Amino acid sequence: MGKSVAQLWRRIDASFWPTSGERPTLLYRLAICAWFGFVVAVSVKMIASPYDHNNYLNFETGGRAWWTDAGLYEPDVPDFRYLPPFAVAMTPMTVLPSRLGALFWIWLNLGVFLWSLRALVRDILPSRLTADQEGAFLLLTLVGACRVFWCAQTNMLVIALVVLAMQAILRKRWRWAATLLALPFYIKFWPLAAAMLVIACWPRQLAWRFACAMVAIGATPFLTRSATFVFDQYSKWGSAFVGRMQMRHDYLDAWTVWDLIHKPVNEQAYLALQLGTAILVFALVIWQKRRSNSEPQWMIFILGMWTAWQLTFGPGAERATFGLIAPVTAWGLITGYRMRFQFAALLIACGLTFLGTLGEVERALMESYPIVTIAHPVGVALFALWLVAYAQREFVPSASSAAAAPNSVPSGALALKGPIATMRKGIRTQAYW
């Protein structure tokens, strides 16, 4: 018993060390403390005021409505836009009081997201981060993501599942990767774009597995209600998706830019613009795959281009959606820190993108300066342009870089050093947060 406890403690201790194996620096410790403080603050908020700016209540309502005869997509189930499997998944939380349900929901989101950040830094980013850089990465990501967690949205859970799917691909766990790519579709419809980009890079391994995962997850509601009821709910969701769900809300995307420059926006032309930019992103991803033989480079490019397209031309780009791009922009700022011109451009892009995290400041500016409404999509577009230029310049492996120096650590490597690597008795060193 004592031996097992000691091994568990070593695992937990290792999971809080930087992925590089270095000793935690002051900046890294500050980042851990900042995240810990934020977790405490948002947990208190969920308990103290669960009915204030909390999307969990919509999920809870959907979980309860699933077991009624009316179903999910009736007028008395407000703003539930999710597919039936998501309502089924929320059912266990509906037996709890709203305060506890909201608390467990936010813990689930934070836990999965922090797990995915660990995987992103350790396995996916094209270059290894030092302890200071990892601390800066965590702090910058917190700045971009805090608003999403504060209102208990699902967007950070979506990006976390996509990142974990990419880690599974690197480890050749194809069934697990396909399942993780399929799950976000049933939370939000638009992550299907990310799945298509990933499948385009690994079609033979993922295409049929993804299709099977989609069918399996989509069939879970049939285990809980009659087939007639479930088919009716899917049909009503489809009608709502092409009907009332298409009504524009407080979105901040390319439509906002067009509307500010020239009214009214031509809906057919805008749809053509969405499809055209989607094809362009797809072509850029395939181009990058053919230029580089580094899977981590493909993955960070896919993450960046998908989130940039989603926030600029995709459906439903509101303030709480902009946290999607936070991990990639944090990596971009760290990567471009030593490149003066690029770093200045990145600062402008990220500053515009995350203006929404300022809350009341942003609203005050919008009253006097309506042009502030286009800051978010313009910032994301600038970052996308930087990423394409950076990939063109840096993501081309040369013969000299392919033959790594004896003392170098390859990008995306799992090799560690220091106290983590010296752990004994067969404990794996790649612990998650």
Token pair recorded at residue 22: 């270095």
Tell me which DSSP letter residue 24 carries: P
Q: What is the pLDDT of residue 41?
A: 94
The rounded distance, in Å, linking the Cα atoms of 195 and 207 is 10
The rounded distance, in Å, linking the Cα atoms of 76 and 411 is 52
pTM summary value: 0.85
Q: What is the pLDDT of residue 404?
A: 42
Q: What is the pLDDT of residues 96-136, one digit of tens each?
A: 888 899 999 999 999 999 999 999 999 998 888 899 999 99
| Contact predicate 307/387, CB 8 Å | no
Alpha-helical runs (H) found in 171-312 = 174-187, 192-201, 203-219, 227-242, 254-261, 267-291, 295-312
Tell me which DSSP letter residue 369 carries: -
Residue 111 CB coordination number (10 Å): 15
Token pair recorded at residue 425: 């008795």
Q: Which of 359, 385, 383, 373 is nearest to 254 (CA)?
A: 373
| Contact predicate 320/148, CB 8 Å | yes
Q: What is the pLDDT of residue 2?
A: 60
Cis, bond preceding 264 (omega within 30 deg of 0): yes
The rounded distance, in Å, linking the Cα atoms of 48 and 44 is 6
Q: What is the pLDDT of residue 289?
A: 87
Q: What is the pLDDT of residue 231?
A: 92
The rounded distance, in Å, linking the Cα atoms of 419 and 65 is 51
Backbone angles phi, psi at 5, to 5 degrees: -65, -40
Listed as ranges, residues in the chain with pLDDT below 50 are: 398-433
- Residue 152 backbone zone (phi > 0: left; psi -120 to 50: alpha; other: beta): left
